Homo-oligomer: A and B are copies of this chain.
Amino acid sequence: MTDLLIRNIRPMGGPAADLLVRGGLIAAIGPDLPAEGAAVEDGAGALAVPGLIDAHTHLDKTTWGMGWHVNDQNATLRGRIDYERENRMALGIDPVRQPLRHALLLAAHGATHIRSHVDIDTDHGLAIFHGLLEAREKLAGVIDIEIVAFPQSGIMTRAGTIDLLDAALAEGAEVVGGIDPCGMDRDPKGHLDAVFGLAEKHGKPIDIHLHETGDLGAFDMEEIFARTEALGMQGKVAISHAFALGAPDTARMQALIDRIAALDIAILTTGAPSATVPLILRLKEAGIRVGAGCDGIRDTWGPWGKPDMLHRAEVIGMRNGFRRDEDLEYALHVCSTGGAEVMGLPGHRLAIGDAADLCLIEAMTLAHAVADTAPRTLTVKGGKVTARGGEIVVPGVVIP
């Protein structure tokens, strides 16, 4: 593998430097590094940051590139779930093409890693999961995809779902998913016992969607805490959305945050502008690992979202009321290194010895990059250039 020398970049917005990649790792950062036979990229003074990470998305759901999906549903959460399950195949949401499209657009916008939930239900069995596995294989070396086996339609009320999740975990899904233990199955004990039981059986971590708010969401969290502690799963559990943490400040809220910190549970946020999202500076203060994701983009659920984690940093920063540069930098952090911390990836801090997963951004400062949704000029994955000027440049790989 040829070395790669990226000239004239500003790592994390600091002074100009060169960055040398050797064997897929960052080997040196400093001024005027010798090329010594390496391939050379001109950074042109761009910022360099670790590769962006979409740590909460649904690659299997997007209608991106398929023509406009008209949404005329006045639906509840349950209604959206049912509508999608019943119509996705007829609408032509191909389980291979759409994940490829979505993931490559993320890479074109500077991403190097994805954690994607994938719908597993008794209507489709493992078909959608298998599509994502196929897409992942095609994207090997371009962008890493970690898969959450996700019971979108519930577990307990749809007999056979546990076996399907079990099979997906045996076939390569890395994470056990779950969703709204009370509202989805009307059986929080059954739902969470199933999720934690699968995690224990397969020795795999957990990532649970939690849209439930107020006392209901707090109750869910207490049940998640109890099982995390009982099974010794500290550091292995993530809660996505966690809207229950976005309620007005109370002693109870702080008690939840303290327990999340003590059990080393991670939080994944999408900064949903119309929901009660956790204030990420409070999580940061408590020492909690925080990652972020675009969630579903332009799918049958709704029209919003772009395959771009810098756009997501803007959404999260605005939703959190950030104004100071330091806080915008934290919004960028959760869309990159923060995701790596949640997913358990080593490094990802642009340090010597880290995997050479990074992107260049044409911006004055890190805060400017976020506020401007600034152009990504180069994406590098494992030391190889995957995108340049927003276009995928991997031989043989095209956005379908």
Contacts and interface: CB of A to CB of B under 8 A. Distances in A.
Indicate how many identical chains form the complex.
Answer: 2
Contacts of A370: 303
Chain A interface SS verdict (over half): loop
Nearest to A275: B321
A326 interface: yes
Contact of A68 (B68, B73, B368): B368
A328 interface: yes
Interface in A44-88: 67-68, 70-74
A371 interface: yes
Interface stretch (A95-103, A114-122, A189-197, A311-319): A311-319
A63 to B, nearest CB: 11
A71 B301 contact: no
Interface string A283-322: 0000000000000001001111000000000110111110
Contact of A325 (B71, B304, B320): B71
Interface size class of chain A, counting residues whose CB lies under 8 Å from the partner chain: 20 to 34
A15 interface: no
A273 interface: yes
A364 interface: yes
A318 B367 contact: no
A294 to B, nearest CB: 12
A275 B318 CA distance: 10
Given A72-B326, A303-B370, A304-B314, 7 more contacts: A68-B365, A71-B324, A72-B325, A273-B318, A273-B319, A275-B321, A315-B318
10 contacts: A68-B364, A71-B323, A71-B325, A71-B367, A72-B324, A273-B319, A274-B319, A301-B323, A304-B318, A315-B318
